[in-house]
Amino acid sequence: MHQRVRANVRQILGPKASDADVERLARSQWRNYMRYLRDFAALPRIARSETERIFERAEGWEHIDRAMSQGRGLVLASVHFGNWDLAAGTMARRHPVNVIADTFSSRLLDGFVNRRRKALGVQVIPVEKALKRTVSALRRNESVAFLVDKPLAGDAGVDVEFFGRRTRIPAGAAYFASRTGAPLIAAFVWRNEHGDFRVQVFPPIQVDPDVKTTMQQVIRVAEQVIRAHPEQWYMFRSMWSTSQEVGGTVDVDLTEEAVA
């Protein structure tokens, strides 16, 4: 697994990065991921205090309030960066939020994870039920959060350019925004070197009928944040591979019935 992390880091840093620099950043990513797990394990005890502190430091929150005032719901996009659970919990203090989440094979683990998310006020949509429940949530003027850097079942994804190479990412965020008219916003929460949280909410992304075009815009925003704070990105799968060098769009496996 560490080898995959190093390979991802090398793509971020570029071919001129030394082995020492790659290893240093890879280890820093692991340390920050452990901090994320520590925060997650401390839920629900820290939920209210931490989300309030996060909100106080939020940059660009007006974009969320303005989007929610339109009454069409909101699609939130982020990546495995910083602390996405506390990001959703901060949103839940102001507006209803749902997260698309994997169902773990272990019922004990699945229950443990979902109890902590619910302690944040976050509603969980199991990935296998995401189609209809996502549309229903948006129609209720709620937000739905997607992590766009990991493949999801039922979403074949699209090819995008990410740090100079092609890779495949899920397209659900763009699909649902396009089909329902919900605004699409990218947002990120992370701890800085002093242990304080930072929040960056970007202006709404222009939603194109072509989901690949929209997802390329989303991943450009994510690339910008990761480039500035690469130690906060936790990706333990191989993000790039030889088979992904060829460009092109992969059809999105989402049914029309989901938005009927």
Confidence of residue 153 (pLDDT cuts 50, 70, 90): low
- How far lies 9's CA from each of 28, 217, 231, 240, in Å? 11, 22, 9, 11
In this predicted structure, the answer to whether residue 192 has a pLDDT above a threshold of 90 is no
Predicted local confidence at residue 193, as pLDDT? 81
In this predicted structure, the answer to whether residue 36 has a pLDDT above a threshold of 50 is yes
233: left (phi over 0), alpha (psi -120 to 50) or beta: beta
Predicted local confidence at residue 5, as pLDDT? 96
Which range, of 32-36, 61-65, 104-108, 178-182, averages the lowest pLDDT? Answer: 104-108
Q: Are the CB atoms for 99 and 122 separated by under 8 Å? A: yes
In this predicted structure, the answer to whether residue 195 has a pLDDT above a threshold of 90 is no
Average pLDDT over residues 136-157: 88
Report the C-alpha gap between 52 and 48 in whole angstroms: 6
Give residue for tokens 């520590």. 38
Q: Are the CB atoms for 134 and 74 separated by under 8 Å? A: no
In this predicted structure, the answer to whether residue 155 has a pLDDT above a threshold of 90 is no
In this predicted structure, the answer to whether residue 38 has a pLDDT above a threshold of 50 is yes
- pTM, full prediction: 0.89
Q: Select from 235, 218, 197, 220 the least CA-distant residue to 87.
A: 197
Q: Residue 183: is the preceding peptide bond cis (ω within 30°)?
A: no
Predicted local confidence at residue 11, as pLDDT? 96
Q: Of the ranges 44-48, 122-126, 147-151, which is most confident? A: 122-126
Q: Are the CB atoms for 57 and 90 separated by under 8 Å? A: no
Predicted local confidence at residue 255, as pLDDT? 30
Q: Are the CB atoms for 79 and 149 separated by under 8 Å? A: yes
| Planar angle of CA 145, 54, 232, nearest 5 degrees | 70
Q: What is the pLDDT of residues 123-144, one digit of tens each?
A: 999 988 999 999 999 999 999 9
Alpha-carbon torsion, ordered 247, 79, 100, 91, to 10 deg: -140
Q: What is the pLDDT of residues 62-117, one digit of tens each?
A: 999 999 999 999 999 999 999 999 999 999 999 999 999 888 889 999 888 988 99
Predicted local confidence at residue 134, as pLDDT? 97
| Planar angle of CA 252, 141, 133, nearest 5 degrees | 45
Average pLDDT over residues 215-233: 97
Q: Identify the three-state secondary structure at position 198.
A: strand
Predicted local confidence at residue 234, as pLDDT? 95
Predicted local confidence at residue 105, as pLDDT? 86
Structure-block tokens of residue 13: 């840093």
- Helix, strand counts (H, E) of the chain: 9, 9
Average pLDDT over residues 166-172: 94
Q: Are the CB atoms for 102 and 113 separated by under 8 Å? A: no
Structure-block tokens of residue 81: 């960066």
Predicted local confidence at residue 104, as pLDDT? 86
Predicted local confidence at residue 154, as pLDDT? 64
Report the C-alpha gap between 63 and 27 in whole angstroms: 34
